Amino acid sequence: MEMACSNIKTLPEDCVSTILSLTTPQDACRMLLVSRAVRPAAESDTVWDRFLPCDCWDIVARSDTPLKFSSKKELFFILSDSILIDGGNKAFALEKSSGLKSYILSARELSILYSNEQNSWSWKSIPNSRFAEVAELKTAGRLEIRGTIRTRILSPHTTYGAYLLIKISDRAFGLDSIPCETSIIASDRVLDTSTTYLRELDNKKQQLENLFYWNRMQMLKGRVNKGDEKLPSKKKDGWLEIELGEFLVSERDEVVTMSLVEIKGHQLKGGLIIQGIEVRPKY
Amino acid sequence: MSSPEEKTLILKSSDNEEFLVKESVAVQCITIKNLVEDGCDLDAIPLLNVDSKNLAWIIEFMEKYADSTSTDAEKKDFDTEFVKKPFNDVLGLILAANYLNFPALMDVMCDACANEMKLWSVEQVREKFHIQNDYTEEEEKAVRAENFWAFE
């Protein structure tokens, strides 16, 4: 009896699958290396069904292109590679190691002030964008960019970060003389606020400009709420991302509004390109 | 709060030890529930694949879970202490819970086993479960390459 209990080979395959389904996708793939005998259990639908989100069939139905898969494991990896859904206006992906959900809302899904006015914003296609269209700021005095997401479509009990995906064109002007205010608001309460500069790091031209306009920038900064004065980070795909804030997905379903706003500088700006807002697990 | 007519069952382990358990408690094991519903009229129900060590633990677990006065928090604390057993015993209880078809015990023990496995390397898993690596060197390289991201 003692010997039999300590050998996984005598554990029926469905027991092994049950145990593995309680680990993570990363662990299940590591366990593939244990032995040939463990493979069928580690690749079974029992395990990978548990790693897929409970609304995954709804998401599959909303995919832009029909998804082809012959096992739940295959479906998991298709989804972890990111798919376009909702007429190409959103992207959805599972985090490979954990199975947690993430979304990118395209610029068309956001509420951008004056985005319908041809003098202020233009919509165009550029290579290297996940979506068919991005929005480019031609000229405007105010920036108000907002996206919303329902927490029930996200993974529960997870802290999410919201990131505005942008590029700053060579012709950009007026974007970084005053920090923008970022916020995350749920229903009626403010979950996170901060400030950010719309500028690329190590941009020699901007550093020179800053030298000249130092006094003016200090004065403008005073108009804005105190914040971390974050800077965009560069991503591998060449886009910049600005963290708008973070929030924890709790039990109750609510609408979270993620914003970047600049309305206190009263000066014209242009050359900001927006791909969308990414909402992904932070920890 | 058992009524005078509440039935008691005798469960007999593979090593012939007998345990008295109230029927309402024992039927958490679907295998036993089916036997009772099929009108099993044996004096004692023989559990050929469960030894007395495991059966004593299983009965302890069943009685905690059948107790309507224990809260969820109390059950959770009980579970935390209950799973603190040598790994071979954890596996033994999983086998027994599977044989007896006892979902609540299965969940708790499999969860405990999974939590251990998450912390182990592939080599440690082989050691703890006494599994031989039956991959050839080429096969092992191929599996590792296919799943390289999991090892980063």
Taking CB atoms and an 8 Å cutoff, what residues of chain B touch A48? none
Residue contact A36–B92, C-beta within 8 A:
no
Tens of pLDDT, residue by residue, chain B (152 residues):
555 568 899 999 999 999 999 999 999 999 999 998 888 777 789 999 999 999 999 999 999 999 989 999 999 999 999 999 999 999 999 999 999 999 999 999 999 999 999 999 999 999 988 888 999 999 999 999 999 999 98
- Whether B120 and chain A come into contact, CB under 8 Å, resolves to no
Check if the beta carbon of residue A283 is closer than 8 Å to that of residue A155: no
Work out the pLDDT band at A3, boundaries 50, 70, 90: very low
Q: What angle do CA A88, A76, A245 make, to 5 degrees?
A: 60
CA–CA separation, B12 and B46 (whole Å): 5
Torsion, Cα A102 A105 A111 A116, to 10 degrees, reads: 170
- Whether A34 and chain B come into contact, CB under 8 Å, resolves to yes
CA–CA separation, B152 and B17 (whole Å): 50
Residue contact A35–B106, C-beta within 8 A:
no
pLDDT in tens, A36-57: 989 999 999 999 999 999 999 9
Neighbours of A26 (CB within 10 A): 20
Residues in contact with A110: Cβ distance below 8 Å, sequence separation at least 6, in sequence order:
A145, A146, A147, A274, A276, A277
CA–CA separation, A70 and A99 (whole Å): 19
- H-type alpha helices, A81-213: 204-212
Helix (H, G, I), strand (E, B) or coil at A182: strand
Residue contact B147–A31, C-beta within 8 A:
no
**pTM for the predicted model, two decimal places:** 0.87
Residues in contact with A152: Cβ distance below 8 Å, sequence separation at least 6, in sequence order:
A253
Q: Is the pLDDT of residue A201 over 70?
A: no
